[in-house]
Structure 1
Amino acid sequence: MKSTLTLRTPGGLSLRTDVRALVVVVALLLAACAASVVLIGTGDFPISFGDVLRTLAGNGTAGQDFIVNELRLPRVLVGLLVGASLGLGGALFQSISRNPLGSPDVLGLSQGATSGALVVIVLLSGTAAQVTVGALLGGLVTGLAIYLLAWKQGVHGYRLVLVGIGVSAIVTAVNGYLLTKADLVDATRAVVWMTGSLDGRDWSQVWPLLALCAVLVPLVLANARGLRMMEMGDDVSNALGVRVERVRMLLMVAAVLLTAAATAAAGPVSFVALTAPQLARRLTRSPGPNLVPSLCMGATLLVTADWASQRAFGADQLPVGVVTGVLGGVYLLWLLVTERRAGRI
């Protein structure tokens, strides 16, 4: 039997928490914090773990303060926020579609955000801020198209995934066409952005993403109960008083915004949204969407992958999207084989 912890407030409210899931969340948060400190200390001017902590507390030298707080801390915060957004967005889509393949990578949302960015880069020669806006709009338009095409007296899991795969193929072809129309400078800039990287990220990327997460994460968690009931089926959820289509639409919009914002901030970082919810579920061994563990897992995965991209290949530093793409591709193949053996695909 699963052990649970019940927390009671003076007002009479109670919250039941799975102890194992709580331990996993705490462990992932500690791992994300430790990986972040190590990542901040990594670079051409290495800084020890203790010196990083002292500098973050305001007790470092002037040089350490500049390197840590101005150059490296924004990059790490963007990585944490992007990973958390992708992990939470992936958990939402997998729960709504009731399919482990229902992630933004497979459904085409990342490719849609990429199309929006490419339009700004190739056709408009826009600034970095305009590229961010273009990626957000591209993700939103793609998400709306998938929802409308998948609608037939409601949105159901496999239909959503199949429509998303079709839209992804179309958008990927559009992206290839846009690259062929670009001049050499814009094409190079677009390919670098499409790889997915945290290089050069500063506080101007941190604050918008932090504000969006501050709004959307509480909104998503407030509807977590309805989402968990929806996994039992629409009829059962309706009988239990859940307004299924309203909750589904609200959470899909939140997931699209989280994915588009993450893509706008760091480019299309592959497979974090697919793998983070699955790994979190295996660690917690808990049914349901596992929203908070997925969020923490996504943040931990991305900062760890960013450290690996800088240190695991010697002098050759790779964009973080290359590392997550390779590892996520291997995981996707394993997942497909597992699902086939279980007779689910």
Structure 2
Amino acid sequence: MSGPAGNLLAPTRVVRWGPVSVRIAPRALTVGVSLFLLVLVAAAIHVANGGSALPLDAVVRALLGDDSNTRVHLAVTEFRAPRTVGAVVAGGCLAMAGAITQTVARNPLASPDILGVTAGASLGAVSVLVLAGGGAAGLSGFAGQVGLPVAAFAGGVLAGVLVYLLAWSGTLDSYRLVLVGLGLNGLAVSLTTWLLTLGDVTSAAQALTWMSGSLNGKDWPLVEPMGLLALVLLAGVLVLGQRLVLLTMDDDVAIGLGVRLGRLRLYALILATLLASTGVVVAGPLVFVALASPQIARLLTGSAVPPILLSGLVGMVFVLVADTVAANALAVSLPVGVATAVLGGPYLIFLILRNQRRLT
């Protein structure tokens, strides 16, 4: 990328092949290929260690279509593969949403939480679980298969729309966006807590389990549509991604270059909201994935802004490793959200201390 915005990116080289020329960043390309291979390895290990351990070579053969071992093939394709794909979708979507949010807010400590998206999705899901009265039906009834995913997605999107409407004042200012998002986030959290007091013990327990972030019991009817939606949103990331670096410039400079900041921030906000809502629907509000993954990708590539696609790959690895650890570290399987908190908490402390040292 040339021009003033190009200085914010990692060094690039132009590769020519006849009349075709492509600009690539060697370090980013190397990191991207390495992360992609790491996702494949982490996914295979995740499938092999979901519950009772399976031989890794048998798992790989089953994933490649070998059904000679019926037991392994059924366990992998029908029970473990949906959970693994769910981890990939949730981790990738949340991490890319975090990268976009941090770029728009110009703050490495930002995440979709400041847009109220995560809290809005939680409010929607808890509303269904409590008001529908999970009871005996629980997560396997209407609330689990239809109502909960729809309510969670609608809650996240509605929260993003409200933040936009309340933050808009002729243009979409990043500072005002953060303040409005934090206020709406606090309101949604308070309403969620109030709803938990209204439900019975069973409904409240189910709601708290979902809010902790979990991949248990994920099946193809949920994972497949969310995966397809994630692919559609990925196309939006590819279209919008290169332009988001312009949001890191001073507003006057960007406007002088002909950038319509309000419209660009709006498109970025819509994309981040949809990505975060998709990730929350699949795995619940996983903490630290959207916060830590973009900064890890930025440090790996040496870029001044979080690379969106590479952030998604880091998020996939993060959630796959966290869920593998959560399922096997103790005698009792833990929700993946607990593992992401344990793994991401120290990184958050490191990031805060690092920023403080820069300011002093």
| TM-score normalised by structure 1 residue count | 0.93
| 2:333 counterpart of 1:317 | yes
Q: What are the Cα deviations for residues 281-326 of structure 1, in whole angstroms up to 9, with x where unaligned? A: 011111233111101111110001111111223x121100011122
| 2:93 counterpart of 1:66 | no
- Unaligned 5+ segments in structure 2 are 1-6, 134-141
Are the equivalent residues in 2 in contact too, given 1:99–1:157 (CA < 8 A)? no
Quote the offset at 1:132 in angstroms. Answer: 0.6
Are the equivalent residues in 1 in contact too, given 2:297–2:306 (CA < 8 A)? no
Are the equivalent residues in 1 in contact too, given 2:51–2:327 (CA < 8 A)? no
- Unaligned 5+ segments in structure 1 are none
Give the Cα separation in 2 of the matches to 1:156 and 1:328. 29
Given the alignment, which residue of 165, 185, 188 partners 1:148?
165
Which range moves more in the overlay, 261-270 or 321-330?
321-330
Tell me what 1:80 maps to. 88
Are the equivalent residues in 1 in contact too, given 2:125–2:152 (CA < 8 A)? yes
Letter of the structure 2 residue corresponding to residue 98 of structure 1: R
Given the alignment, which residue of 180, 189, 197 partners 2:197?
180
Quote the offset at 1:184 in angstroms. Answer: 1.4
Tell me what 1:228 maps to. 245
Cα RMSD of the aligned pairs, angstroms, is 1.9
| 2:133 counterpart of 1:99 | no
Are the equivalent residues in 1 in contact too, given 2:115–2:159 (CA < 8 A)? no
Are the equivalent residues in 2 in contact too, given 1:76–1:303 (CA < 8 A)? yes
Where 1:223 maps in the other structure, the secondary structure is helix
| TM-score normalised by structure 2 residue count | 0.89
Where 1:286 maps in the other structure, the secondary structure is coil
Where 1:47 maps in the other structure, the secondary structure is coil
Tell me what 2:47 maps to. 40
Give the Cα separation in 2 of the matches to 1:109 and 1:328. 20
Q: What are the Cα deviations for residues 51-96 of structure 1, in whole angstroms up to 9, with x where unaligned? A: 1111112224111110011110110001001100011000000001
| Equivalence map 1:209-248=2 (5 Å) | 209-248=226-265
Give the Cα separation in 1 of the matches to 2:156 and 2:83. 23
Which range moves more in the overlay, 161-170 or 277-286?
161-170
Give the Cα separation in 2 of the matches to 1:55 and 1:167. 46
Quote the offset at 1:258 in angstroms. Answer: 0.8
Given the alignment, which residue of 293, 299, 311 partners 1:282?
299
Letter of the structure 1 residue corresponding to residue 23 of structure 2: R
Quote the offset at 1:160 in angstroms. Answer: 2.4
Q: What are the Cα deviations for residues 199-254 of structure 1, in whole angstroms up to 9, with x where unaligned? A: 01011122111211121111122122221122113332233233322221112111
Give the Cα separation in 2 of the matches to 1:240 and 1:15. 24
Letter of the structure 2 residue corresponding to residue 149 of structure 1: L
Tell me what 2:118 maps to. 110
Where 2:359 maps in the other structure, the secondary structure is coil
Which range moves more in the overlay, 319-328 or 173-182?
319-328
Give the Cα separation in 2 of the matches to 1:115 and 1:7. 49
Count, aligned residues: 342
| 2:269 counterpart of 1:269 | no
Where 1:6 maps in the other structure, the secondary structure is strand
Given the alignment, which residue of 259, 265, 289 partners 2:276?
259
Tell me what 1:334 maps to. 350
